[in-house]
Amino acid sequence: MDKMRARHTPSADPHKPAGVEWHVVHDDKAVALCGVNVEGGSERPIADWATVTDPRCRHCGDAYSNEA
């Protein structure tokens, strides 16, 4: 089952929250479709891809669209 998994990146400014970018993974794999390791990242259903307000990985989106 496909799902979204977040890659959390630390903020350069300690007064700002960490950033997040959503990626697509198959099943429970640790590597996203774009090749980025997202092990341990927050998860959301793939149906949320179109509605999240945080940045989404363009490469994962393209790869997922081509598979669907």
pLDDT for 24: 96
Per-position DSSP letters for the chain, written without gaps between them: -EEEEEEEE--SSTTSPPEEEEEEEETT-SB-TTS-B-TT--EEEGGGGGT--S-B-HHHHHHHHHH-
CB 37 within 8 A of CB 8: no
Q: What pTM was computed for the model?
A: 0.82
Compute the distance between CA of residue 57 and CA of residue 20 in angstroms, rounded to an integer. 10
Domain extents for the chain?
Answer: 2-67
pLDDT at site 54: 86
Tens of pLDDT, residue by residue over 43-57, are 999 999 999 988 899
Tokens found for residue 44: 């959301």
